[in-house]
Every structure is written in C-alpha cells, then in structure tokens.
Amino acid sequence: MKIYKVLPAMAILLYACESKLDLSPVTNLTNVTYYKTAEDAKAALGACYAVISNPDPNLDITTSDDAVPFLTGAADRPLLWRYDITPSNSLITAYAGAYSGINRSNIVIERLPGITMDEDLKKRYMAEAKFLRALHYFTLVQYYGEVPIVTKETASLEGLEIARSPVEQVYELIEADLKEADSILPKTYPAGESGRATQGAAKGILARVYLYRAGAKKASPFWAMAAAKAKEVIDLDIYDLYAEFADAFALTARGGKENIFEVQYLTDVRGHGLGRGFGVRSAQIYPGGGAGIARPTESLYNSYTSNDKRKAVTFITSFVYNNVTTTLSISDPDFTKAVSFQKFWDKTAKTNGGEGTSRPVLRYADVLLMYAEALNESNDGPNAEAYAALNKVRTRAGLTPLSALTYQAFKEAVWLERRLELTFENSRRYDLVRTGRLIEAVKAENSFNRNALILPHHVLLPIPQNDMDVNPKLVQNPGYK
C-alpha cells in the first residue's frame, strides 16, 4: 500500500482534486529507491488490489428498477433515481477512481521488468495487474462509453490532456489484458493468498465482456465466444455452488468455491458497511443504526416466489430489538418501516462500517447463467447444457427446473433468474443496458411517484464535471450539459 503515498502527483491527477494531495510520504522511499526488489513489486501490486473496480451498488440499483433511494436524504440520490442527471451529480464519480486504479496497474506493468526477481513470479504479478486494469476499463466503458486509453504510468504533469478513444479500441485493450491474464495466472493459490486474480477469474470476466459486446444482437459472434469462455470456467472443475444460497455470502465463504473473484473484507478491521448502509433506517440492530440509503422496489421484491430461498437471504422483512418485533413493509413510505436489503450484512460486526462479508465481483452462479444465455442465443434455442446450467441455479434456490421453453421464453427466464440471483451485485443496470431494456424497465417502475425523465442517451452516464474540468480534450456524452 506504500505506493499511494510514494507517488503523490498521481493522486492529484487521477482524483482531480487538489485537496487529496499529500506531500508528506510515510517513509523515505522515493521513485529512485523504490521498485528495486521483489518486496517492492509485491507492495505495488497490493496497491492495485486496494482499489479493485467494484462500484457502490447504489448506482446500479437506483438507476435500474431494483431500488428506491431515501427521498429526503442527499439530494443527488433522488435526482439520479429520477434520471435528472447532470455531470455534477456526486454519485456518478466512478471515473476518477477507475483511472487511479489503472495508473497503479500501469506502474506495475512498466516498473516490474526492471526488477531482479523470480521471473515466473514477475510474469504472474504483471498478469494480475493487467487483469485489474481490464476490470477498471470494463467499468469505464459500461458507464461512460468512449474513454481515454492510458497504458503508461502517469508520473508528471506532461501529456495529461488525452481525448476519448472509440469503444472498440477500449474493448481491444480489455480483451488483450484478460487473454494474457488467462494464459499466465494460476488456477488456484495457497489459502493465505486467496482473493488474488486467477485463471478462472480472467476467463469469467472475459465471458462477461463478450456477453456485453453481444448486446441485443441475436446473430452476434460474441454469443458463441461468451459461451466458450464460460464453459472453460466450468471445465476447470474448481468452482461450484454452495448447497444453500445463504452460504455464498457467509463469512466462511471468503475464498470459497463459489466466489471466483471477490473484494475481501475483515470484520471490524476493514469493513464495507453495506448491511448497515442499506439496512432499515434508524434501526438499532446495526452498529450506529441503519442508514436506509435505498430500499427494494415492489417489482423486485414481488418477483421472488414464496418458495424462493433467496428472498429471505436478500431482504430483511422484520427484526427484534429490546424484545419488540417490528414488521417491515414493501410499500409503506416510512423508511424506518421498509423492507430492506441484507444480503451482505455481517451480523457479527460491532463497529459502524465494520462488516467483513466479501463483495462478489464474479460468482459461479453468474457464470452458469451467462453460459445458459449465451448457448440459447448461439444455438437459436436452449439445448441440454443450457437447461442444466440454468436449472442448477434454480434448484439451489428451491425452484422447479424448467423445460420445453422456446428461444424467447428461455431468454426471458434467464433474465429473470439473473435479477433474482444477482440482486445487489452490480448486475442489474449492466443487464438492462446490454439487452436494450433499460428505458422500458425504468419507466415501468414508478413506485413512490418516480416519474423518471429517462431518455435514450441515459444508457451512458455523463463524464463527471471535475474530470471534464481538468482535461479540456474530453467531450461530454451526448444529451448532457
């Protein structure tokens, strides 16, 4: 983690905020004395993992049809939800953070060749850095479309004004990085190194990239490519679903068989606070009280059947405090009485924001559903393997296996399964955009008088104003002022 302090110039450039500049390094290390040993390389790569691209779920759920934000809280939340979005909205700022992570990866990729260390380990470190760089660029291209491509370390104020590159070029870089990672990364690590990027993670994220590139085009060659990569993950014979859905999010699941790639936390040491943050507002069952940032929509909640085991894991519908039971509602406008998200709630945490449950970036269930969808598209209908993949997820949830569906019915069944299985995992907006359903879904979800102002250009977010201000060569996405 030393790298963040060693290179203060980068912090100001990539966060676009002078107040973040720290001119006092923690140690006496400098660019001249650093990047000399294998330990330096390890620390630099650790800094890359510290900023893994996995945005706050609030952006995903409130710009889709999955959640309603606390309407009397921070003004930017309801504005985002109603699609009254401007470049100054404080909740669309994944841009600067992604470029901070990209720069950290670029540092590793550029500096490691000059370090004398075990060559195989050096190659692995560089492959891990490229995997993480690809994750950041994939986040950027999904949210903003065309973005500047930077593959060199930012070490000075020179050459910072960079224009946006075409989406295809961004994807070419993402694909190249992931393919290299796939060819070099190990299948597994020793227990003490769980959480690092693996070959399975590279294959799985590449399958997701191909799925996104296929979009809503039935004849796209990317469907077959997505199916092939997902099958490679399955054929590794390393991953599987836990017997119970709840087990996938337990503290004991860290580094487990279902979490192909995850952001790992430590309870009351370095937590995430998502259970409290999206928990019942003001409820004292959480350290510091529930924040109630956003509540699930009726359309999401009611999409789960009563026998779906995932419903009770995903939502909290009642709680007991001081021997008093409070029953929660999906429709009561009072957020202190609202059914709320609890999927990542670590009930053992004793500190505000100290929850240690992992946040999945890619779970095996997601790979199975990608495989099922891609097979249906590339074969003009589901085959036995597609049914097996979809029904494996459904069976774990306690649902009846599906059979004898048409191409369209199977596609819609997978879409629904993805919504129910991957809720709160930064998947819903991604799925709606890639399948061309975002506008329809947002307009249909009108609870609490949403009346969203959504228009076709909203499939992309605006480039944040701070970043526009520091780079005159950036051109704003159409439709935003």
DSSP 160-183: ---PPBPHHHHHHHHHHHHHHHHH
Q: Please answer whether residues 144 and 477 qualify as being in contact, where contact means their C-beta atoms are separated by less than 8 angstroms.
A: yes
Q: Lowest mean pLDDT of 55-59, 329-333, 398-402, 432-436, name the range.
A: 55-59
Backbone angles phi, psi at 328, to 5 degrees: -100, 160
pLDDT higher than threshold 50 for residue 304: yes
| Confidence band, pLDDT 50/70/90 cuts, at residue 53 | confident
At residue 19, the pLDDT reads 29
At residue 425, the pLDDT reads 97
Beta pairing, strands 318-321 & 294-296 = unpaired
CA distances 61 to 138, 189, 387, Å, are: 18, 33, 28
| Confidence band, pLDDT 50/70/90 cuts, at residue 2 | very low
User: Residue 438: enclosing H or E segment and its boundaries?
Assistant: helix 438-444
| pTM, entire model | 0.92
At residue 55, the pLDDT reads 78
pLDDT higher than threshold 80 for residue 34: no
DSSP 327-378: E-BSS-S-GGGB-EE-TT--TT--STT-----EEEEEHHHHHHHHHHHHHHH
pLDDT tens per residue across span 334-372: 999 999 999 999 999 999 999 999 999 999 999 999 999
At residue 35, the pLDDT reads 87
Q: Please answer whether residues 315 and 278 qualify as being in contact, where contact means their C-beta atoms are separated by less than 8 angstroms.
A: no
Spatial separation of the C-alpha atoms in residues 466 and 157, rounded to whole Å: 17
Task: Give the mean model confidence (pLDDT) for residues 243-259.
Answer: 96
Q: Report which residue type is found at 303.
A: S
Which CATH fold would you assign to the domain 3-56+85-185+461-470? 1.25.40
Question: Facing residues of 362 across strands?
Answer: 261
Output the average pLDDT for the chain: 92
Q: How far apart are the first and last CA of the chain?
A: 38
At residue 32, the pLDDT reads 52
DSSP 204-247: HHHHHHHHHHHTT-TT-THHHHHHHHHHHHHHT------SSGGG
Torsion of CA 383, 386, 392, 397, to 10 degrees: -110
Q: Lowest mean pLDDT of 4-8, 47-51, 412-416, 451-455, name the range.
A: 4-8
Q: Please answer whether residues 372 and 390 qualify as being in contact, where contact means their C-beta atoms are separated by less than 8 angstroms.
A: yes
Q: How many CB atoms lie within 10 A of CB 78?
A: 18
Domain boundaries, the chain: 3-56+85-185+461-470, 274-357
Beta pairing, strands 315-316 & 259-263 = unpaired
Closest among 465, 440, 464 to 454, alpha carbons compared: 440
DSSP state, residue 262: E
Closest among 361, 259, 356 to 49, alpha carbons compared: 361
Closest among 255, 175, 249 to 208, alpha carbons compared: 175
Find the angle CA(286)-CA(290)-CA(294) to the nearest 5 degrees: 140
Backbone angles phi, psi at 228, to 5 degrees: -65, -45
Which tokens belong to 98?
Answer: 């992604």
At residue 54, the pLDDT reads 73
